[in-house]
């Protein structure tokens, strides 16, 4: 099988990493990588890591021809017009933006500050977290990939939600994220002198990804969630670590938590439980995940204050965007979800 793919927004960070994965994917041929700013210029000028793999130029979105799948790697609010254009054309759509992640149209004004332009299309999209919705994704032509912080947070807590163990108002998530999470567009807050060395709290309340986290945990547990989510910008380029402090609504032993996580993720090749007794890397560490599609999760019970601490880590540009998009595409086309991505990370790095 050869799957033809177009990438809209290929000059950005998610589009670039998606392209990095697709150029060695055994079943995919990239037909077009778009950029309006760099149309006609070599892709390797913007993504120099792709030298020897990509010898074509960016094209304008107006020039692209039909393909089996289109990836939308565009800013929030820019994907909806493309979805309207491609829907029902026979092209499968994998959207990396936030435009189709929330099921309830009322959640868009709440978390994004505007009405959804096409609320009737929301129900056509599956939330593209394979570990939760694998069977739906396989049958779907339209997948909305989760946010990177949401991916880390939801996967950290999903097994507990499935067991209805979470106190829906007893969750505090403290997340750290690297600078690539903000995309390639210039912003003074991500300019090197302003960004280097920071441990910056940038959205201690009201972060948009909270809506997705509450949606997915709520559906799993069958309850309405109020999650306290606070992200921080830290001295990393790639990577997220989410430390989730949760209250459980019944007493459990460590052995039970092991069983719950092992059982929930038994068919999820990209999930690893990391909880070692010895060594430098006893818990999930984003540094070890750079360039990979793995989600690592670990936990510790704190009987002193009746708390469970769950740590989840990913590379935001792979499992948090481009890799997850390919994992979804693999499922949508009946391939093994690992195809093109089954490789370890670097150590040391
Ligand atoms: N960065 C992350 O870690 C991450 C993780 C998960 C999801 N996401 C989401 O993924 C999307 C892309 O993020 P990013 O970090 O890759 O952003 P980025 O680096 O700023 O790239 C944005 C891309 O979109 C293109 N673009 C902008 N407006 C467009 C339009 N109207 N039509 C076509 N192309 C357009 C830009 O291309 P030209 O200006 O060159 O045309 C550029 O290639 C966002 O919705 C973001 O929220 C990002």
pLDDT one digit per residue (tens) for the chain, 349 residues: 899 999 999 999 999 999 999 999 999 999 999 999 999 999 999 999 999 999 999 999 999 999 999 999 999 999 999 999 999 899 999 999 999 999 999 999 999 999 999 999 999 999 999 999 999 999 999 999 999 999 999 999 999 999 999 999 999 999 999 999 999 998 898 889 999 999 999 999 999 999 999 999 999 999 999 999 999 999 999 999 999 999 999 999 999 999 999 999 999 999 999 999 999 999 999 999 999 999 999 999 998 888 999 999 999 999 999 999 999 999 999 999 999 999 999 999 9
Say yes or no: CB of residue 77 within 6 Å of ligand 1: no
Alpha-carbon dihedral sign for residues 18, 24, 28, 32: positive
Cα(323) to centroid(ligand 1), Å: 15
Q: Where do the domains of the chain lie, and which CATH numbers do they carry?
A: 3-146+319-332 (3.40.50.720), 149-316 (3.30.360.10)
Which residues, at least 6 apart from 132, have a Cβ–Cβ distance to it below 8 Å? Answer: 154, 158, 216, 220
CB distance 321 to ligand 1 below 6 Å: yes
Distances from the Cα of 345 to the Cα of 128, 177, 274, 314, 318, angstroms: 23, 18, 15, 11, 12
Q: Report phi then psi at 169, rounded to 5.
A: -115, 20
Helices and strands in the chain, H and E counts? 10, 13
Helix ranges (H only) for 113-208 are 130-139, 148-162, 192-195
| Residue 185 Cβ < 6 Å to ligand 1 | yes
- What are the residue numbers of the active site? 148
- Evaluate the CA torsion angle 212, 213, 217, 223 in order and state its sign: negative
**Nearest atom of ligand 1 to the alpha carbon of 14:** 16
SS3 99: coil
The Cα 314–Cα 308 span in angstroms is 20
CA 97 – ligand 1 centroid, Å: 8
- Tally the C-alpha atoms within 13 A of residue 307's C-alpha that lie toward its C-beta: 14
Q: Counting beta carbons within 10 angstroms of the beta carbon of residue 81, is it exposed (0 to 12), middle (13 to 18) or buried (19 or more)?
A: middle
Which of 6, 7, 8, 9 for mutating ligand 1's site (highest number of atoms within 8 Å of CB)?
Answer: 9
Q: The whole model's pTM is what?
A: 0.98
What pLDDT, on a 0 to 100 scale, did the predictor assign at position 190?
Answer: 86
């Amino acid at each position: 099988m050869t799957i033809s793919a177009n990438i809209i927004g290929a000059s950005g960070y998610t589009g670039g990493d998606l392209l990095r994965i697709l150029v060695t994917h055994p079943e995919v041929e990239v037909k077009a990588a778009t950029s309006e700013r760099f149309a006609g210029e070599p892709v390797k000028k913007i993504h120099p890591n792709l030298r020897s793999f990509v010898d074509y130029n960016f094209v304008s979105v107006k020039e692209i021809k039909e393909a089996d799948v289109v990836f939308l790697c565009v800013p929030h609010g820019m994907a909806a017009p493309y979805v309207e254009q491609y829907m029902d054309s026979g092209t499968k759509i994998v959207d990396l933006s936030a435009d189709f992640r929330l099921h309830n149209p009322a959640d868009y004004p709440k978390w994004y500050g505007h009405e959804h332009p096409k609320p009737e299309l929301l129900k056509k999209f599956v939330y593209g977290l394979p570990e939760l919705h694998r069977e739906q994704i396989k049958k779907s032509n339209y997948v909305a990939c989760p946010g990177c912080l949401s991916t880390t947070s939801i996967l950290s807590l999903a097994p507990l939600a499935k067991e209805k163990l979470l106190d829906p108002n007893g969750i505090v998530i403290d997340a750290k994220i690297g600078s690539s999470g903000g995309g390639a567009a210039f912003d003074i807050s991500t300019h090197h002198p302003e960004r280097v060395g920071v441990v910056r709290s940038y959205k201690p309340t009201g972060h948009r990804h909270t809506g997705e986290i509450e949606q997915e945990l709520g559906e799993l547990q069958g309850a309405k969630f109020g999650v306290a989510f606070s992200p921080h910008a830290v001295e990393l380029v790639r990577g997220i670590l989410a430390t989730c402090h949760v209250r459980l609504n019944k007493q459990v032993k460590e052995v039970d938590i092991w069983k719950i996580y092992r059982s929930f993720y038994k068919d999820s090749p990209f999930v690893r439980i990391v909880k070692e007794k010895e060594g430098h890397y006893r818990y999930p560490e984003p540094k070890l995940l750079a360039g990979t599609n793995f989600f690592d999760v670990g936990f510790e019970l704190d009987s002193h204050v009746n708390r469970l601490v769950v740590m989840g880590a990913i590379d935001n540009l792979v499992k948090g965007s481009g890799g997850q998009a390919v994992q979804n595409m693999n499922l949508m086309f009946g391939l093994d979800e690992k195809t093109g991505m089954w490789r370890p990370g670097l150590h040391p790095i």
